[in-house]
Amino acid sequence: MTPEERKAFEDKVHAYVGREVNAPQKGKDDVNKAMIRHWAEVMGDENPAYTDEEYAAKSSKGGIIAPPSMLQIWSMEGYPMAHNPSQDVQRELHNVFDEHGFAGVLGTNTSAEYYRDLRPGDEVHAHTVIDKISEQKATQRGIGYFIETVTNFTDQNDEAVGKIIFRVLKFTPNDSNDATGGDDSDDGMPEAPTRIASPRGHDNKWWWDAVDEGKVLIQRCKSCQTLRHPPRPMCGECQSIEWDSIESTLDGEVFSFTELHYPKFPGYQYPLVCAVISLGEGTRIISNIVGCEPEDVYIGMKVKGKVEQVDEKTMLPQFYPAD
Amino acid sequence: MNKETLQYQDVAVGDKLPPLEIDISSSLIIGAAIASRDFTPVHHDKKAAQECGLPDVFMNILTSNGFMGRFVTDWAGPESTVKGIDIKLGAPNLPGFVMTVTGEVTAKNDDTGVVEVGVMGENNVWGMHMGGSVRIELPKSDQQGEV
Ligand SMILES: [Zn+2]
Protein backbone atom coordinates (compact mmCIF):
# COMPACT_ATOMS: atom_id res chain seq x y z
CA MET A 1 0.00 0.00 0.00
CA THR A 2 1.29 3.47 -0.83
CA PRO A 3 0.94 6.12 1.93
CA GLU A 4 -2.01 7.59 -0.01
CA GLU A 5 -3.72 4.21 -0.31
CA ARG A 6 -3.16 3.57 3.36
CA LYS A 7 -4.67 6.89 4.30
CA ALA A 8 -7.71 6.25 2.09
CA PHE A 9 -8.12 2.80 3.67
CA GLU A 10 -7.78 4.13 7.22
CA ASP A 11 -10.25 6.92 6.52
CA LYS A 12 -12.67 4.36 5.17
CA VAL A 13 -12.48 2.10 8.24
CA HIS A 14 -12.44 4.96 10.76
CA ALA A 15 -15.73 6.14 9.27
CA TYR A 16 -17.24 3.03 10.90
CA VAL A 17 -16.40 4.22 14.42
CA GLY A 18 -19.59 5.11 16.26
CA ARG A 19 -21.84 3.15 13.91
CA GLU A 20 -24.23 0.62 15.35
CA VAL A 21 -23.68 -2.96 14.22
CA ASN A 22 -27.43 -3.44 14.18
CA ALA A 23 -30.48 -1.90 15.78
CA PRO A 24 -31.15 -3.02 19.37
CA GLN A 25 -32.28 -6.64 19.15
CA LYS A 26 -34.19 -8.87 21.50
CA GLY A 27 -32.55 -12.26 22.03
CA LYS A 28 -34.20 -15.18 20.26
CA ASP A 29 -34.77 -16.90 23.60
CA ASP A 30 -35.60 -15.22 26.86
CA VAL A 31 -33.57 -16.41 29.85
CA ASN A 32 -34.77 -19.96 30.51
CA LYS A 33 -33.99 -22.93 32.69
CA ALA A 34 -33.32 -25.37 29.85
CA MET A 35 -30.52 -23.36 28.26
CA ILE A 36 -29.05 -22.63 31.70
CA ARG A 37 -29.05 -26.34 32.55
CA HIS A 38 -27.52 -27.33 29.19
CA TRP A 39 -24.72 -24.82 29.66
CA ALA A 40 -24.03 -25.76 33.29
CA GLU A 41 -23.99 -29.43 32.27
CA VAL A 42 -21.26 -29.02 29.64
CA MET A 43 -19.26 -26.62 31.82
CA GLY A 44 -19.34 -29.09 34.71
CA ASP A 45 -20.74 -26.26 36.83
CA GLU A 46 -22.42 -27.67 39.93
CA ASN A 47 -23.54 -24.33 41.32
CA PRO A 48 -27.02 -25.09 42.76
CA ALA A 49 -28.11 -21.48 42.15
CA TYR A 50 -28.25 -22.39 38.44
CA THR A 51 -30.03 -25.73 38.49
CA ASP A 52 -31.39 -26.71 41.91
CA GLU A 53 -34.80 -25.03 42.23
CA GLU A 54 -35.33 -26.01 45.83
CA TYR A 55 -31.92 -24.79 46.94
CA ALA A 56 -32.14 -21.61 44.89
CA ALA A 57 -35.58 -20.71 46.25
CA LYS A 58 -34.33 -20.98 49.84
CA SER A 59 -31.06 -19.17 49.21
CA SER A 60 -30.52 -15.42 49.13
CA LYS A 61 -30.92 -15.65 45.34
CA GLY A 62 -34.62 -16.41 45.86
CA GLY A 63 -34.77 -18.67 42.83
CA ILE A 64 -32.80 -19.94 39.85
CA ILE A 65 -30.38 -17.49 38.25
CA ALA A 66 -28.43 -17.76 35.00
CA PRO A 67 -24.63 -17.93 35.18
CA PRO A 68 -23.60 -14.31 34.57
CA SER A 69 -21.11 -15.51 31.95
CA MET A 70 -24.14 -16.50 29.82
CA LEU A 71 -25.05 -12.83 29.21
CA GLN A 72 -23.87 -12.82 25.62
CA ILE A 73 -25.36 -16.25 24.94
CA TRP A 74 -28.90 -14.83 25.12
CA SER A 75 -28.15 -12.65 22.11
CA MET A 76 -26.33 -15.13 19.87
CA GLU A 77 -27.45 -15.61 16.32
CA GLY A 78 -27.25 -19.43 16.52
CA TYR A 79 -27.14 -21.92 13.70
CA PRO A 80 -27.13 -19.42 10.81
CA MET A 81 -23.60 -18.49 11.96
CA ALA A 82 -22.43 -21.80 10.49
CA HIS A 83 -23.57 -21.25 6.93
CA ASN A 84 -25.25 -17.95 6.36
CA PRO A 85 -24.28 -15.40 8.99
CA SER A 86 -26.16 -12.12 8.88
CA GLN A 87 -24.38 -9.39 6.94
CA ASP A 88 -24.28 -6.74 9.64
CA VAL A 89 -22.14 -3.63 9.79
CA GLN A 90 -19.41 -5.42 11.72
CA ARG A 91 -19.04 -8.03 8.98
CA GLU A 92 -19.09 -5.27 6.40
CA LEU A 93 -16.21 -3.60 8.26
CA HIS A 94 -14.31 -6.90 8.45
CA ASN A 95 -14.80 -7.27 4.70
CA VAL A 96 -13.12 -3.90 4.14
CA PHE A 97 -10.14 -5.15 6.15
CA ASP A 98 -10.14 -8.46 4.24
CA GLU A 99 -10.06 -6.67 0.88
CA HIS A 100 -6.98 -4.74 2.00
CA GLY A 101 -5.04 -7.83 3.04
CA PHE A 102 -5.97 -7.90 6.74
CA ALA A 103 -7.76 -11.23 6.47
CA GLY A 104 -6.71 -12.71 9.80
CA VAL A 105 -9.09 -12.30 12.72
CA LEU A 106 -8.39 -13.02 16.37
CA GLY A 107 -10.41 -12.24 19.48
CA THR A 108 -7.86 -10.78 21.88
CA ASN A 109 -9.85 -9.78 24.94
CA THR A 110 -13.24 -9.08 26.41
CA SER A 111 -14.32 -7.12 29.40
CA ALA A 112 -17.76 -7.85 30.84
CA GLU A 113 -19.77 -6.15 33.53
CA TYR A 114 -22.87 -7.76 34.97
CA TYR A 115 -25.22 -5.33 36.69
CA ARG A 116 -27.66 -7.89 38.04
CA ASP A 117 -28.35 -11.63 38.05
CA LEU A 118 -30.65 -12.70 35.23
CA ARG A 119 -33.57 -15.01 35.97
CA PRO A 120 -35.79 -17.25 33.86
CA GLY A 121 -38.33 -15.06 32.08
CA ASP A 122 -36.01 -12.06 31.70
CA GLU A 123 -35.68 -10.66 28.20
CA VAL A 124 -32.22 -9.68 27.01
CA HIS A 125 -31.86 -6.97 24.38
CA ALA A 126 -28.44 -6.31 22.87
CA HIS A 127 -27.20 -3.16 21.20
CA THR A 128 -23.72 -3.25 19.67
CA VAL A 129 -21.72 -0.26 18.49
CA ILE A 130 -18.28 -0.10 16.87
CA ASP A 131 -16.47 1.95 19.46
CA LYS A 132 -12.81 2.20 18.49
CA ILE A 133 -10.36 1.26 15.78
CA SER A 134 -6.70 1.50 16.73
CA GLU A 135 -3.81 2.89 14.74
CA GLN A 136 -1.91 0.30 12.73
CA LYS A 137 0.05 -1.95 15.10
CA ALA A 138 2.81 -4.47 14.64
CA THR A 139 1.79 -7.47 16.72
CA GLN A 140 3.23 -10.92 17.24
CA ARG A 141 0.62 -12.25 14.83
CA GLY A 142 1.31 -9.70 12.13
CA ILE A 143 0.53 -6.10 11.26
CA GLY A 144 -3.04 -5.10 11.90
CA TYR A 145 -5.68 -3.06 13.67
CA PHE A 146 -7.63 -3.62 16.88
CA ILE A 147 -11.39 -3.16 16.57
CA GLU A 148 -13.35 -2.60 19.75
CA THR A 149 -17.09 -3.08 19.91
CA VAL A 150 -19.30 -2.32 22.89
CA THR A 151 -22.54 -4.18 23.51
CA ASN A 152 -25.03 -2.82 26.01
CA PHE A 153 -27.59 -5.26 27.34
CA THR A 154 -31.02 -4.23 28.62
CA ASP A 155 -34.06 -6.10 29.94
CA GLN A 156 -37.83 -6.00 29.32
CA ASN A 157 -38.05 -2.77 31.35
CA ASP A 158 -35.28 -1.12 29.37
CA GLU A 159 -33.02 -1.32 32.42
CA ALA A 160 -29.32 -1.93 31.83
CA VAL A 161 -28.29 -5.46 32.85
CA GLY A 162 -24.73 -5.57 31.58
CA LYS A 163 -22.09 -4.48 29.14
CA ILE A 164 -19.41 -6.30 27.15
CA ILE A 165 -16.41 -4.77 25.41
CA PHE A 166 -15.01 -7.07 22.76
CA ARG A 167 -11.65 -6.52 21.07
CA VAL A 168 -10.52 -8.27 17.91
CA LEU A 169 -7.33 -7.98 15.87
CA LYS A 170 -7.70 -7.85 12.08
CA PHE A 171 -4.25 -8.60 10.74
CA THR A 172 -2.07 -9.73 7.86
CA PRO A 173 -0.76 -13.08 9.05
CA ASN A 174 3.03 -13.38 9.39
CA ASP A 175 4.27 -16.19 7.18
CA SER A 176 6.95 -16.96 9.70
CA ASN A 177 4.53 -17.18 12.58
CA ASP A 178 4.13 -20.79 13.52
CA ALA A 179 3.96 -20.29 17.25
CA THR A 180 0.68 -22.19 17.35
CA GLY A 181 1.02 -24.23 14.20
CA GLY A 182 3.52 -26.91 15.23
CA ASP A 183 3.75 -30.14 13.29
CA ASP A 184 1.18 -32.78 13.93
CA SER A 185 2.55 -35.93 15.46
CA ASP A 186 1.04 -39.32 14.60
CA ASP A 187 -1.83 -39.09 17.03
CA GLY A 188 -2.85 -35.70 15.68
CA MET A 189 -1.65 -33.89 18.81
CA PRO A 190 0.45 -30.86 18.06
CA GLU A 191 3.92 -31.21 19.48
CA ALA A 192 4.88 -29.30 22.57
CA PRO A 193 7.49 -26.65 21.83
CA THR A 194 10.97 -27.53 23.01
CA ARG A 195 13.58 -25.17 24.41
CA ILE A 196 15.05 -22.51 22.19
CA ALA A 197 17.93 -24.09 20.27
CA SER A 198 21.38 -22.76 21.13
CA PRO A 199 22.53 -20.32 18.45
CA ARG A 200 25.75 -21.77 17.04
CA GLY A 201 27.90 -19.30 15.20
CA HIS A 202 31.48 -19.18 14.00
CA ASP A 203 32.87 -18.22 17.40
CA ASN A 204 30.86 -20.46 19.72
CA LYS A 205 29.84 -23.57 17.81
CA TRP A 206 32.86 -25.50 19.21
CA TRP A 207 31.66 -24.78 22.77
CA TRP A 208 28.15 -26.14 22.17
CA ASP A 209 29.52 -29.13 20.27
CA ALA A 210 31.54 -30.00 23.39
CA VAL A 211 28.39 -29.66 25.54
CA ASP A 212 26.72 -32.17 23.21
CA GLU A 213 29.63 -34.50 24.14
CA GLY A 214 28.99 -33.89 27.85
CA LYS A 215 31.85 -31.45 28.44
CA VAL A 216 31.96 -27.79 29.48
CA LEU A 217 35.08 -26.14 28.08
CA ILE A 218 36.67 -22.85 29.01
CA GLN A 219 38.55 -20.90 26.37
CA ARG A 220 42.20 -20.16 27.21
CA CYS A 221 44.50 -17.61 25.61
CA LYS A 222 47.51 -19.35 24.14
CA SER A 223 49.83 -16.44 24.67
CA CYS A 224 48.96 -15.27 28.23
CA GLN A 225 46.90 -18.26 29.52
CA THR A 226 43.95 -16.07 30.62
CA LEU A 227 40.66 -17.99 30.72
CA ARG A 228 37.53 -16.46 29.19
CA HIS A 229 33.82 -17.22 28.86
CA PRO A 230 31.54 -16.86 26.92
CA PRO A 231 33.59 -17.79 23.85
CA ARG A 232 34.94 -14.95 21.74
CA PRO A 233 37.71 -14.57 19.19
CA MET A 234 40.19 -12.29 21.00
CA CYS A 235 41.84 -12.25 24.41
CA GLY A 236 40.81 -9.19 26.40
CA GLU A 237 44.18 -9.05 28.17
CA CYS A 238 46.70 -9.35 25.37
CA GLN A 239 44.59 -9.20 22.17
CA SER A 240 45.88 -12.52 20.98
CA ILE A 241 43.56 -14.50 18.76
CA GLU A 242 45.36 -17.78 19.44
CA TRP A 243 43.48 -19.95 21.89
CA ASP A 244 42.84 -23.46 23.14
CA SER A 245 40.58 -24.71 25.93
CA ILE A 246 40.48 -26.62 29.20
CA GLU A 247 37.64 -28.71 30.57
CA SER A 248 35.85 -27.37 33.65
CA THR A 249 35.33 -29.66 36.65
CA LEU A 250 32.00 -27.82 37.12
CA ASP A 251 32.68 -27.10 40.77
CA GLY A 252 31.42 -23.65 41.56
CA GLU A 253 29.39 -21.35 43.71
CA VAL A 254 26.35 -19.14 43.17
CA PHE A 255 27.41 -15.59 42.36
CA SER A 256 23.87 -14.34 41.75
CA PHE A 257 20.48 -15.82 40.84
CA THR A 258 16.86 -15.11 40.04
CA GLU A 259 13.67 -17.13 39.74
CA LEU A 260 11.65 -16.77 36.54
CA HIS A 261 7.89 -16.77 37.14
CA TYR A 262 6.20 -15.00 34.27
CA PRO A 263 5.73 -15.39 31.41
CA LYS A 264 6.20 -19.14 31.45
CA PHE A 265 7.96 -20.44 28.38
CA PRO A 266 6.66 -23.72 27.01
CA GLY A 267 9.35 -26.41 27.09
CA TYR A 268 10.95 -25.28 30.36
CA GLN A 269 10.43 -26.89 33.75
CA TYR A 270 9.18 -24.68 36.56
CA PRO A 271 10.19 -23.57 39.11
CA LEU A 272 13.01 -22.14 36.99
CA VAL A 273 16.07 -20.70 38.73
CA CYS A 274 18.66 -18.94 36.57
CA ALA A 275 22.02 -18.25 38.18
CA VAL A 276 25.43 -16.83 37.49
CA ILE A 277 27.89 -19.44 38.75
CA SER A 278 31.52 -18.69 39.59
CA LEU A 279 33.46 -21.75 38.48
CA GLY A 280 36.49 -23.01 40.38
CA GLU A 281 38.61 -22.24 37.33
CA GLY A 282 37.73 -18.53 37.74
CA THR A 283 35.26 -17.81 34.92
CA ARG A 284 31.52 -17.38 35.34
CA ILE A 285 28.73 -19.18 33.54
CA ILE A 286 24.97 -18.65 33.38
CA SER A 287 22.98 -21.79 34.05
CA ASN A 288 20.05 -23.26 35.96
CA ILE A 289 20.03 -24.45 39.56
CA VAL A 290 18.11 -27.70 39.85
CA GLY A 291 17.68 -30.41 42.46
CA CYS A 292 16.48 -28.11 45.22
CA GLU A 293 13.68 -25.67 45.97
CA PRO A 294 14.19 -22.08 44.78
CA GLU A 295 13.91 -20.97 48.45
CA ASP A 296 17.00 -23.03 49.26
CA VAL A 297 19.26 -21.25 46.79
CA TYR A 298 21.53 -18.55 48.19
CA ILE A 299 24.48 -16.47 47.09
CA GLY A 300 27.71 -18.28 47.89
CA MET A 301 26.02 -21.70 47.78
CA LYS A 302 28.41 -24.44 46.60
CA VAL A 303 27.17 -26.17 43.47
CA LYS A 304 28.26 -29.00 41.21
CA GLY A 305 27.42 -29.07 37.52
CA LYS A 306 26.46 -31.91 35.22
CA VAL A 307 25.81 -31.88 31.51
CA GLU A 308 22.36 -33.36 31.03
CA GLN A 309 19.81 -33.87 28.34
CA VAL A 310 16.96 -31.47 29.14
CA ASP A 311 14.68 -32.20 26.21
CA GLU A 312 14.66 -34.30 23.05
CA LYS A 313 17.37 -32.28 21.35
CA THR A 314 19.13 -30.22 24.00
CA MET A 315 22.15 -30.97 26.18
CA LEU A 316 22.85 -28.33 28.83
CA PRO A 317 25.02 -27.91 31.90
CA GLN A 318 22.84 -27.73 35.02
CA PHE A 319 23.98 -27.16 38.59
CA TYR A 320 22.97 -29.05 41.74
CA PRO A 321 23.64 -28.25 45.41
CA ALA A 322 27.13 -29.64 46.08
CA ASP A 323 26.38 -31.39 49.35
CA MET B 1 -17.78 -26.83 44.32
CA ASN B 2 -17.97 -25.13 47.69
CA LYS B 3 -21.64 -25.10 48.80
CA GLU B 4 -20.99 -22.81 51.79
CA THR B 5 -20.69 -19.28 50.49
CA LEU B 6 -17.61 -17.39 51.69
CA GLN B 7 -18.18 -14.23 53.68
CA TYR B 8 -16.49 -11.05 52.57
CA GLN B 9 -14.57 -10.73 55.83
CA ASP B 10 -13.22 -14.29 55.58
CA VAL B 11 -11.29 -13.51 52.44
CA ALA B 12 -7.91 -11.77 52.33
CA VAL B 13 -5.79 -10.36 49.54
CA GLY B 14 -3.25 -13.03 48.64
CA ASP B 15 -5.62 -15.97 49.31
CA LYS B 16 -5.10 -18.65 46.70
CA LEU B 17 -8.03 -20.47 45.08
CA PRO B 18 -8.04 -24.25 44.69
CA PRO B 19 -6.64 -24.99 41.19
CA LEU B 20 -9.00 -26.47 38.59
CA GLU B 21 -7.80 -28.95 35.97
CA ILE B 22 -9.87 -29.21 32.84
CA ASP B 23 -9.41 -32.05 30.34
CA ILE B 24 -10.11 -30.53 26.98
CA SER B 25 -11.78 -32.89 24.51
CA SER B 26 -13.53 -32.39 21.18
CA SER B 27 -16.77 -33.14 23.05
CA LEU B 28 -16.15 -30.33 25.52
CA ILE B 29 -15.12 -27.80 22.86
CA ILE B 30 -18.04 -28.61 20.56
CA GLY B 31 -20.60 -29.20 23.31
CA ALA B 32 -19.81 -25.89 24.98
CA ALA B 33 -19.75 -23.99 21.67
CA ILE B 34 -23.22 -25.30 20.87
CA ALA B 35 -24.53 -24.75 24.42
CA SER B 36 -23.33 -21.16 24.07
CA ARG B 37 -25.17 -20.89 20.71
CA ASP B 38 -21.86 -20.19 18.97
CA PHE B 39 -22.08 -22.06 15.69
CA THR B 40 -18.95 -20.53 14.14
CA PRO B 41 -17.56 -23.51 12.16
CA VAL B 42 -14.02 -23.38 13.66
CA HIS B 43 -15.50 -24.49 17.00
CA HIS B 44 -17.25 -27.64 15.71
CA ASP B 45 -15.81 -28.48 12.28
CA LYS B 46 -12.21 -29.73 12.23
CA LYS B 47 -11.83 -28.97 8.52
CA ALA B 48 -12.88 -25.37 9.03
CA ALA B 49 -10.38 -25.05 11.89
CA GLN B 50 -7.63 -26.46 9.68
CA GLU B 51 -8.42 -23.92 6.98
CA CYS B 52 -7.67 -21.31 9.65
CA GLY B 53 -4.26 -22.86 10.30
CA LEU B 54 -5.03 -24.80 13.48
CA PRO B 55 -4.81 -28.58 13.71
CA ASP B 56 -8.27 -29.09 15.23
CA VAL B 57 -11.39 -27.40 16.60
CA PHE B 58 -10.58 -24.91 19.35
CA MET B 59 -12.38 -23.54 22.38
CA ASN B 60 -14.55 -20.45 21.84
CA ILE B 61 -14.23 -17.33 23.97
CA LEU B 62 -17.60 -17.80 25.66
CA THR B 63 -16.40 -21.13 27.05
CA SER B 64 -13.12 -19.68 28.33
CA ASN B 65 -15.10 -16.85 29.88
CA GLY B 66 -17.48 -19.41 31.40
CA PHE B 67 -14.59 -21.27 33.00
CA MET B 68 -13.27 -17.99 34.48
CA GLY B 69 -16.66 -17.56 36.15
CA ARG B 70 -17.07 -21.18 37.21
CA PHE B 71 -13.56 -21.31 38.69
CA VAL B 72 -14.31 -18.38 40.98
CA THR B 73 -17.89 -19.35 41.96
CA ASP B 74 -16.68 -22.90 42.72
CA TRP B 75 -14.54 -21.27 45.39
CA ALA B 76 -16.86 -18.48 46.52
CA GLY B 77 -20.05 -20.50 46.77
CA PRO B 78 -23.58 -20.22 45.37
CA GLU B 79 -24.67 -17.02 47.12
CA SER B 80 -21.84 -14.98 45.65
CA THR B 81 -22.59 -12.70 42.69
CA VAL B 82 -20.27 -12.36 39.69
CA LYS B 83 -20.05 -8.66 38.77
CA GLY B 84 -17.55 -8.74 35.95
CA ILE B 85 -15.00 -10.77 34.02
CA ASP B 86 -12.00 -9.40 32.13
CA ILE B 87 -10.20 -11.89 29.97
CA LYS B 88 -7.17 -11.69 27.72
CA LEU B 89 -6.75 -14.57 25.34
CA GLY B 90 -3.51 -16.34 24.53
CA ALA B 91 -2.83 -19.67 22.85
CA PRO B 92 -5.84 -21.75 21.77
CA ASN B 93 -7.20 -24.72 23.73
CA LEU B 94 -7.32 -27.86 21.57
CA PRO B 95 -8.58 -31.41 22.08
CA GLY B 96 -6.13 -33.46 24.14
CA PHE B 97 -4.80 -30.48 26.09
CA VAL B 98 -5.19 -30.08 29.84
CA MET B 99 -5.82 -26.57 31.14
CA THR B 100 -4.93 -25.74 34.72
CA VAL B 101 -6.71 -22.72 36.14
CA THR B 102 -5.17 -20.93 39.13
CA GLY B 103 -6.14 -17.76 40.93
CA GLU B 104 -5.49 -15.45 43.82
CA VAL B 105 -7.41 -12.66 45.54
CA THR B 106 -5.87 -9.40 44.33
CA ALA B 107 -8.11 -6.70 45.80
CA LYS B 108 -11.09 -6.07 48.10
CA ASN B 109 -13.53 -3.21 48.13
CA ASP B 110 -14.98 -2.73 51.62
CA ASP B 111 -17.72 -0.40 50.38
CA THR B 112 -19.17 -2.71 47.76
CA GLY B 113 -18.16 -6.11 49.17
CA VAL B 114 -16.62 -6.93 45.82
CA VAL B 115 -13.50 -9.06 45.74
CA GLU B 116 -11.21 -9.15 42.72
CA VAL B 117 -9.61 -12.46 41.80
CA GLY B 118 -6.72 -12.67 39.34
CA VAL B 119 -7.15 -15.80 37.23
CA MET B 120 -4.75 -17.59 34.89
CA GLY B 121 -5.49 -20.60 32.68
CA GLU B 122 -2.51 -22.41 31.19
CA ASN B 123 -2.61 -25.42 28.95
CA ASN B 124 0.09 -28.06 29.08
CA VAL B 125 1.10 -27.71 25.44
CA TRP B 126 1.12 -24.06 24.43
CA GLY B 127 1.08 -22.30 27.78
CA MET B 128 -1.07 -19.29 28.61
CA HIS B 129 -4.60 -19.69 27.25
CA MET B 130 -6.36 -17.04 29.29
CA GLY B 131 -5.56 -14.52 31.95
CA GLY B 132 -7.57 -11.83 33.62
CA SER B 133 -9.73 -11.09 36.58
CA VAL B 134 -13.15 -11.85 37.98
CA ARG B 135 -14.98 -9.43 40.25
CA ILE B 136 -17.30 -11.16 42.67
CA GLU B 137 -19.53 -9.82 45.42
CA LEU B 138 -19.55 -11.79 48.66
CA PRO B 139 -22.14 -11.53 51.42
CA LYS B 140 -21.07 -9.56 54.49
CA SER B 141 -22.22 -11.09 57.73
CA ASP B 142 -23.51 -8.25 59.93
CA GLN B 143 -22.64 -9.81 63.28
CA GLN B 144 -19.24 -8.28 63.74
CA GLY B 145 -16.78 -5.91 62.31
CA GLU B 146 -19.30 -3.38 61.06
CA VAL B 147 -20.09 -0.35 63.11
ZN1 LIG C 1 45.97 -13.34 26.24
Q: Which residues contact A288 (CB under 8 A, 6 or more apart)?
A: A272, A273, A274, A275, A316, A318, A319
Q: What is the C-alpha separation between A245 and A296, in angstroms, rounded?
A: 33
pLDDT band of A265, cuts 50, 70, 90? confident
Q: Do A68 and B74 touch (CB under 8 A)?
A: no
Q: Give ion ligand 1 contacts, CB < 5 A.
A: A 221, 223-224, 226, 235, 237-238, 240
Q: Which residue of A has its CA nearest to B97?
A: A189
3-state secondary structure at position A59: coil
Residue of B nearest to A61 (CA): B79
The pLDDT score that the predictor gives to residue A190 is 64
CB contact under 8 A, A190 and B94: yes
Among B36, B40, B70, the residue with its CB nearest the CB of A45 is B70
Kindly tell me if the per-residue pLDDT of B35 is higher than 80: yes
Measured between beta carbons, which residues in chain A are less than 8 angstroms from residue B91? 179-180
Q: For position A269, what pLDDT does the model report?
A: 84
CATH class of B8-137: alpha beta
Over the stretch A211-240, which tens digit does the pLDDT of each residue have? 999 999 999 999 999 999 999 999 999 999
Per-domain residue ranges of chain B: 8-137
For chain B, percent of residues with pLDDT exceeding 70: 96
* Higher-scoring residue by pLDDT: A202, A320: A320
CB contact under 8 A, B69 and A38: no
**Chain A closest-CA separation from residue B105 CA (Å):** 18
CB nearest B88 (choices: A108, A173, A190): A108
Instruction: Say whether pLDDT at A176 is over 70.
Output: no
Q: Per residue in A38-83, pLDDT tens?
A: 999 999 999 999 999 999 999 999 999 999 999 999 999 999 999 8
Nearest CB to A81 within list B39, B78, B84: B39
| CB pairs A-B closer than 8 Å | 148
DSSP classification of residue A23: S
How far does residue A285's CA lie from ligand 1's centre (Å)?
Answer: 20
- What pLDDT score was predicted for residue A188? 53
**Model confidence pLDDT, tens digit, residues B47-105:** 998 887 788 999 999 999 999 999 999 999 999 999 999 999 999 999 999 999 999 99
With beta carbons less than 8 A apart as the criterion, state whether B2 and B10 touch: no
Q: Which domains does chain A have, with CATH numbers?
A: 3-31+66-176 (3.10.129.10), 205-321 (2.40.50)
Q: Considering chain B, what percentage of its residues have pLDDT values greater than 90?
A: 82
Q: What is the tens place of the pLDDT at every residue in A120-165?
A: 999 999 999 999 999 998 887 788 999 999 999 999 999 999 999 9
Complex prediction ipTM: 0.94
Q: What is the mean pLDDT of chain B?
A: 93
Testing the interface with B: which of A69, A169, A171, A184 to mutate, by most B Cβ within 10 A? A69
